[in-house]
Amino acid sequence: EVHLVESGGGLVQAGGSLRLSCAASGFTSDEYAIGWFRQAPGKEREGVACVSYNPSETHYADSVNGRFTIFTDNADNTVYLQMNSLKPEDTAVYYCGAAIRTTGQAMCVLVIGDYWGQGTQVTVSS
């Protein structure tokens, strides 16, 4: 069974940085994608950054491209989201998600998730 455990949210001033972590376990092949999603109050969940391994593909939402980076540490099966130049509009609950047999782009654009973490709050003050 797949498990996703997130950490790293918090409060930061505009222009600051945060790094989120998603410890993943339980995958039986490399045909999956992991992504970071966010949901602000009154808004739908949106894909922020997603990566698939087979096929290899990385996708970023236009709103974060150039500011956020998703990367994987294979040594401990952790997927990170490095968030720089944070803006107040980045404030949301951030979720780590995983989906089987999909691509990074499809996962983010269509908000596809077979498994979800518990969510972590990110608040950016102006």
State the Cα–Cα distance between residues 56 and 34, nearest whole angstrom.
11
Tell me, what's the pLDDT at 58? 97
pLDDT for 49 equals 98
The angle subtended at Cα 65 by Cα 98 and Cα 45, nearest 5°, is 45
What's the pLDDT at 114?
96
What tens-digit pLDDT sequence spans the chain (126 residues)?
999 999 999 999 999 999 999 999 999 888 999 999 999 999 999 999 999 999 999 999 999 999 999 999 988 899 999 999 999 999 999 999 999 999 999 999 999 999 999 999 999 999
Closest CA to 32 of 119, 118, 120, 112: 112
